[in-house]
Amino acid sequence: MALGRSGFMDRAALDRLGGRLRLAACLALAAFTVAGCGTGPLLDKFTAKDEQTFSDEPADKLYNEGLFLMNKEHDLKAATKKFDEVDREHPYSEWARKSLLMSAYASYQAGDYDTCIGSASRYVTLHPGTPDAAYAQYLIAVSNYDQIPDVSRDQARTEKAMHALEEVIRKYPTSEYAGEAKKKLQGARDQLAGKEMAIGRYYMERRDYTGAINRYKTVVTRFQTTRHVEEALARLTEAYMAIGIVAEAQTAAAVLGHNFPDSRWYKDAYNLVTSGGSQPSENKSSWISKAFRKVGLG
């Protein structure tokens, strides 16, 4: 260290030392702040670590581990995580595409339907032209279908199932899943028709015939290929007779007899109309007649 003639440091040396001391003090203060008061947002930004840890395992090894967990260990949750790991670590590989579908399948098998729908929907979006896209769409459909509630509850899930099943049939008509989708679609429609019938009966019990007619009309116009249409026509006969619109009651009974002559509901409708001195007679201008002609049933 340079000293002046008097034995003390000269001015320039003092300035240099002062600068170093100020720097040291600042560093010490910063160190104290870090040690005693936390890292602070700025330091955290540069030192934060991703909590997820990623392995360097090859994609095919991770995929096969997922298959082992699913098929041999029957640990569907662990298998799903392993398939998701392939998707995260090797997103552009062929194994990632396969793993995404297997993740959806494992989630479905585990009863985690919403996770299955999410993974399968992502697959359809990313890989719409692959042979497995039909199966992914089918997984979306059955995940909704398996959650259909009874007719006393809201049927929003049934509507979603119907839409997804219709997508399978529309987009993949020659796939092996189209036939099963058609069967399930009929079941979903039957469920919605059953809901309308339940509400219609409720209105009938309270003599709200207009409200009941509107519900039965939905069954006839939208769900006439379901098992509920016979009762809907009979109930329409009853409701129209109750409010004195005999011509519509006659038409409902006539259409019922023409399309379902052996139905027990037709016998009830026939007896109801004839008890009032009329006969079943179809009015071609009636909405009931038009609805059945539209789909070729009348």
Among 170, 148, 173, CA closest to 159: 148
Residue 149 DSSP one-character state: -
**How many residues make up the chain in this entry?**
298
Q: What is the residue type of 143? A: S
pLDDT of residue 266: 97
3-state secondary structure of 285: coil
pLDDT of residue 53: 46
**pLDDT 10s digit of each residue in the chain, 298 long?**
443 433 333 333 334 333 433 333 333 333 333 334 443 332 232 233 344 445 578 989 999 999 999 999 999 999 999 999 998 999 999 999 999 999 999 999 999 999 999 999 999 999 999 999 999 999 999 999 999 999 999 999 999 999 999 999 999 999 999 999 999 999 999 999 999 999 999 999 999 999 999 999 999 999 999 999 999 999 999 999 999 999 999 999 999 999 999 999 999 999 999 999 999 999 999 999 999 876 544 4
Give me the domains of the chain, ranges plus CATH numbers. 56-147 (1.25.40.10), 208-294 (no CATH)
Q: What is the residue type of 85? A: E
Q: Is there a contact between 213 and 236 (Cβ–Cβ < 8 Å)? A: yes
Q: Extract the tokens encoding 293.
A: 């002609």
The angle subtended at Cα 128 by Cα 70 and Cα 192, nearest 5°, is 80
Q: Is there a contact between 84 and 118 (Cβ–Cβ < 8 Å)? A: no
3-state secondary structure of 128: coil
pLDDT of residue 55: 56
Measured CA to CA, the distance from residue 162 to residue 179 in angstroms comes to: 14
pLDDT of residue 57: 87
Q: Extract the tokens encoding 294.
A: 């539209």
- Neighbouring C-beta atoms of residue 190, cutoff 10 Å: 17
